[in-house]
């Protein structure tokens, strides 16, 4: 008589159910954020709060797939018959009949459950910054940094116990006992010890400088200033998040240009006319004095409403040409309420160099595309 054997195996996937649901929920939230990223990054609550608050994003509820039994055996959407052909549409989703602005009157079908998911600044930044980078970054432009960096490059028989190489020590012990023909428990002797040694060498890092230039003249209204500051808000945080050795200088201008602090750059407002050549001239002088192009990756970015003095356009174009020649990329953006380009934008388009990236923002949602155009 043979003994009965009962094999019991626990399904460990059940223990991972919570983790899987959490991961799926996180993926769905990220998908919704990506679709609404253009609206989310210009949300005033994030910009004014300096990225310390959360916002709520509406999204459809996530339900698990399950079987529903119909004991009355009625026909349902998606149930075919022998007369159906491949590719034939059975029915349409009832949710499409209840979109906003439907002029067919009140509907009878149930709607879709919508709830709001909280989104933090870190969530937005992680998704946005994945799509941005400093273009044309030249690793050869890396001046010597003051400190040295140690590197383990050699193995020796003597050294500090803190630097012992455990793997090589075990290998030496196994080799010694194998050559002696011994088969016993592993024994480590002083002869088996191996230590890592290091050499110091200069630490080089890629250097880059961002020159942020903003028009603060009287023609810059509340919308223009808000869009400019929103663009630079995300630009500054993107650079500090992804690059360690990037310097940032802030220039403001009307008919005259001057360097300001970061706080002044984002808060101050001025009046007067607009002469864009003044800020280009100041940027060139700063580069010549402090950031030689042979050692620095240079990225000037300028935002204005394009309302420049007509007689200044030619001079501005000539100075912009010099900036483009010594920079990795130059960004020029205009905030306009009309469908017409400014005379300055028309003039700058004569510069046939792909390093000059021109963007026009007419709506809040276009800030996202402007960021991707300049930093891609």
**The pTM is what?**
0.65
pLDDT of residue 7: 46
pLDDT of residue 95: 45
> Which of 85-99, 137-151, 239-253 is least confident?
85-99
Greatest extent of the chain over all pairs of C-alpha atoms, in Å:
108
Q: State the distance between the two ends of the chain, measured CA to CA, in whole angstroms.
A: 76
pLDDT of residue 98: 45
pLDDT of residue 147: 56
pLDDT per residue over 103-130, tens digit each? 455 555 555 555 566 666 677 777 778 8
Residue with tokens 């029915």: 91
∠ CA 70-75-81, nearest 5°, is: 125
Rounded average pLDDT over 133-153: 67
Residue 70 pLDDT more than 70?
no
Burial class (CB in 10 A: 0-12, 13-18, 19+), 370: buried
Residue 318 pLDDT more than 80?
yes
CATH number assigned to the domain with residue range 208-374, chosen from the 4 options 3.90.79.10, 3.40.50.410, 3.40.50.2000, 3.40.50.1820: 3.40.50.410
pLDDT of residue 100: 46
Distance CA 188, CA 172 (A): 9
- Are 211 and 299 in contact, with CB atoms under 8 Å apart? yes
Task: Tell me the pLDDT of the chain averaged across its residues.
Answer: 77
> Any idea where the domains of the chain sit in the sequence?
16-64+113-130, 145-203, 208-374
Report the DSSP beta bridge partners of residue 349. Answer: none
Residue 326 pLDDT more than 60?
yes
pLDDT of residue 364: 85
Task: Put residue 9 in one of left, alpha, beta given phi > 0 → left and psi -120 to 50 → alpha.
Answer: beta
pLDDT of residue 96: 47
Under the banding of pLDDT at 50, 70 and 90, the label for residue 222 is: confident
- Are 90 and 78 in contact, with CB atoms under 8 Å apart? yes
Q: What percent of the chain has pLDDT over 70?
A: 68
pLDDT per residue over 168-208, tens digit each? 888 888 888 888 877 777 788 888 888 888 777 666 666 88
Winning range, highest mean pLDDT, from 42-46, 55-59, 263-267, 313-317: 313-317
Winning range, highest mean pLDDT, from 38-47, 56-65, 182-191, 299-308: 299-308
Residue 332 pLDDT more than 90?
yes
Rounded average pLDDT over 230-241: 87
Strand-pair category, 297-304 with 330-335: parallel
The runs of H, that is alpha helices, within 105-215 are 121-129, 166-179
Rounded average pLDDT over 63-67: 60
> Which of 85-89, 217-221, 367-371 is least confident?
85-89
pLDDT of residue 302: 94
């Amino acid at each position: 008589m043979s003994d009965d054997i009962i094999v019991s195996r626990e399904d460990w996937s059940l223990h991972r159910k919570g983790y899987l649901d959490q991961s799926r929920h996180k993926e769905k939230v990220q998908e919704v954020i990506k679709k609404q990223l253009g609206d989310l990054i210009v949300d005033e609550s994030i910009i004014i709060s300096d990225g310390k608050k959360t916002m709520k994003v509406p999204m459809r509820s996530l339900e698990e797939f399950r079987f529903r039994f119909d004991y009355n055996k009625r026909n349902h959407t998606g149930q075919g018959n022998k007369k159906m052909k491949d590719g034939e549409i059975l029915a349409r989703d009832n949710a499409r009949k209840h979109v906003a602005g439907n002029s067919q009157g009140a509907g009878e079908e149930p709607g879709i459950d919508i709830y709001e998911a909280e989104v933090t600044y870190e969530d937005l930044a992680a998704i946005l910054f994945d799509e941005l980078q400093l273009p044309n970054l030249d690793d050869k432009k890396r001046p010597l940094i003051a400190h040295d960096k140690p590197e383990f490059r050699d193995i020796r028989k003597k050294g500090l116990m803190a630097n012992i190489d455990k793997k090589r020590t075990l290998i030496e012990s196994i080799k010694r006992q194998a050559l002696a023909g011994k088969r016993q428990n592993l024994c480590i002797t002083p002869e088996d010890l191996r230590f890592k040694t290091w050499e110091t060498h200069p630490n080089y890092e890629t250097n880059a400088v961002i020159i942020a230039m903003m028009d603060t003249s009287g023609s810059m209204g509340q919308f223009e200033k808000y869009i400019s500051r929103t663009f630079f808000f995300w630009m500054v945080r993107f650079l500090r998040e992804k690059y360690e050795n990037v310097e940032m200088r802030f220039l403001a201008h009307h008919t005259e240009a001057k360097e300001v602090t970061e706080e002044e750059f984002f808060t101050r407002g001025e009046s007067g006319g607009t002469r864009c050549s003044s800020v280009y001239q100041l940027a060139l002088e700063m580069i010549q004095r402090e950031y030689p192009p042979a050692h620095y990756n240079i990225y000037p970015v300028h935002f204005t409403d394009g309302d420049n003095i007509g007689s200044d356009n030619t001079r501005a174009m000539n100075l912009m040409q010099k900036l483009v020649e010594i920079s990795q990329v130059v960004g020029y953006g205009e905030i306009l309420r009309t469908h017409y380009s400014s005379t300055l934008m028309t003039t700058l388009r004569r510069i046939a160099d792909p390093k000059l990236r021109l963007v026009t923002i007419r709506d809040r949602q276009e800030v996202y595309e402007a960021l991707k155009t300049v930093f891609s």
